[in-house]
Structure 1
Amino acid sequence: MPEWEEIPNIELYSDGGAEPNPGKGGFGVILSYKGRSKEFYQGYQLTTNNRMELMGVIFGLEQLKTKSNVEVYTDSKYVVNGITKGWAEKWKKNNWYRKKNAKAVNSDLWEQLLNIIAKHQINFNWVKGHDGHKENEKCDQLANKAINSNNLLEDVGYEPSDTFDEQSDNTFNETKIKSKNKILKIGDSCRKCHTAVIKKTPKNKKIKQDQTYYFEYYLLCPACKTMYMVEEAKRQVPKPNNLF
C-alpha cells in the first residue's frame, strides 16, 4: 500500500473567543475521523478572541499522535489568512516583527502553530460563523461552556499591553476601532452596553526590557468589563542611562 494511503484523514473544527475582549476566554474543538468524533474545550482567566482562535487549532493538532492529512475548519480569518497568505512565516523570518517598528501580536502562538503544522499535511478552511454550520455551532457552544466553567487556566502568553495593539491592528480588518463614539474619558458610555466607564490603574505593572511605552491607567465598563486603552494614559518608558 502506498505510504500516502496510510496517513489518516482528520477533520478539525475549532472556535474560540473572549467575553469581553479581552476577558475570560475559551475554545472548543472537534476532531473527526472515520465518522467518529471527540470534543475538547478549555477556558482561561484573561485572554483575547484571537488568542483563543489560535489556541483552539493548536490544541486540536496537538492531540494527533501520528502524521495526518488534516482539514482545519475555523471561522477566524485571522488564523486562516495568517497561514495561507504566508504572513506568519514572514513575521517569523523578520524576528516576529510585522513592520519595522511593530511587533507581531501573539507571536508565541503563531510560532507554536507553525511548528506543529510542519508535522502534518494541513489545509485551512474558513467557514462563516453563526451561519448554521453544524460543527462550527457546536464548537461555539463548547467555547462558551469553557468560558463559564470553574476550571479557568492562566493564559501565560497573554500580555495586557497587547490589548490596544490587537484592537487597532488593521492587518486582518477584523477588530478595527471605529473613529466615532470613541471612549476618551471617565463617564463616557461603553460602546457595548452604554454604561458609564470608570478609571482603573493596573497593579504591579511590569515593564519588559524591549517595551517603549505603557498605559498608566485604562477605562473600564463596570457592567460588562470591557477595557478601553486611551492615548492620554500612554506613557513612554524612560531610556536607561548607560555608561558604556
Structure 2
Amino acid sequence: MTLNEIPHIELFTDGGAEPNPGKGGFGVILSYKGRQKEFFEGYELTTNNRMELMAVIFGLEQIKTKAKVTVFSDSKYVVDGIVQGWAANWERSNWIRKKGNLVLNKDLWERLLDVMDKHEVTFNWVKGHAGHSENERCDILANKGIHSENKMKDEGYLDYLENIEYYQEQKIEKEGDLCRKCQTPVIKKSPKKRKIIKNQNYYFEYYMFCPNCRAMYMVEEAKKEVPDGNTLF
C-alpha cells in the first residue's frame, strides 16, 4: 500500500439479545486482504437493535487509519437508518421526534455518525441465517458474548430505562415508524381475509406489522365502516 492509498476493509457484524430486551452480545469480523480479526462482547441488559448498532460502531472504532469500509449487516434497522437517511434527519432535528420525544438509541446513532465521519463507509444488508459465512460466524461470536461470564453494563440502555418517559414514541401510524417492542421499522400489510365480526360496525383495511418481532398495530385511518350484508370480501 502506497502512502496515498486508502485501504479497503470489509466489516461483518451481528448482534442480539436473549430475550429482547435481555442479555446481549455482538460479534465483529474485520477483513483486509485476506486477513481477518474477530471480536465479541457481552452486555448484562440491552436490546437487539442496540447490539446491532454497537457491532458496527465497535468495528469502525478498531480501524485506526482512514479507510474505505464496506459494512455487511443483517439488521434493517441499522442499514436503513443510514442508507435511507433516517439518522441524518434525526441529527438535523436535534434527535427530537414528533411530539417532543427523543430518538431511541440516540447515544449509539450519534456515536455511529461520528465514527463514520472518519472513514468512507458504505452499508450492505445481508439476509441473516441464510448461509452467508461471515454473517453466520458473527452470529456465533454474538452468542459467545451473550453467554460470556464477564458481561458489561449498557449504560445507554440503563439511562433509557431511567428516563423512559422522554423516549416514548408517537402512535404507530405509517411505514417506517418504530415498533414499540423492538424499535424495528414497521411495514404496511393488508389482511388476507377481511372478516366482518358480528355486531361490529367497522373493519381495518390494513395494519402496521413489525417484521422482526411480528407485533401488529391497528391504524385508525385504516378503519372502514362495515358495508351492508356483513359478508366476507
| TM-score (normalised: structure 2) | 0.71
In the alignment, which residue of structure 1 is the partner of 2:114?
115
In the alignment, which residue of structure 2 is the partner of 1:177?
215
- The total of aligned residue pairs comes to 179
Aligned pair in 2 of structure 1 residues 170, 56: CA closer, same or farther (>3 Å)? closer
For the 8 Å contact 1:43–1:151, the answer to whether it is kept is yes
In the alignment, which residue of structure 2 is the partner of 1:7?
6
In the alignment, which residue of structure 2 is the partner of 1:23?
22
> What are the equivalent positions in structure 2 for 1:36-185 lying under 5 Å apart?
36-158=35-157, 159-160=160-161, 161=164, 167-168=179-180, 169=183, 171-172=185-186, 173=210, 174-175=212-213, 177-178=215-216
For residues 31 and 145 of structure 2, what CA distance do their matches in structure 1 show?
20
In the alignment, which residue of structure 2 is the partner of 1:239?
none
Aligned pair in 2 of structure 1 residues 2, 42: CA closer, same or farther (>3 Å)? closer
| TM-score (normalised: structure 1) | 0.68
In the alignment, which residue of structure 2 is the partner of 1:187?
none
For residues 104 and 176 of structure 1, what CA distance do their matches in structure 2 show?
22
For residues 56 and 104 of structure 2, what CA distance do their matches in structure 1 show?
17
Aligned pair in 2 of structure 1 residues 45, 133: CA closer, same or farther (>3 Å)? same
- How much identity, in percent, do the aligned residues show? 59
Q: Cα RMSD over matched residues?
A: 2.3
Once the two structures are TM-superposed, the CA of residue 93 in structure 1 deviates from its matched residue by: 1.0
Once the two structures are TM-superposed, the CA of residue 175 in structure 1 deviates from its matched residue by: 3.9
In the alignment, which residue of structure 1 is the partner of 2:174?
none
What one-letter code is carried by the residue in structure 2 that aligns with 1:118?
Answer: D
For residues 101 and 168 of structure 2, what CA distance do their matches in structure 1 show?
13
The DSSP-based 3-state class of the residue aligned with 2:36 is strand
The DSSP-based 3-state class of the residue aligned with 1:152 is coil
What do the CA deviations read for 1:31-73 (whole angstroms, capped 9, x no partner)?
Answer: 0000000000000000000000000000000000100000100
What one-letter code is carried by the residue in structure 1 that aligns with 2:36?
Answer: S
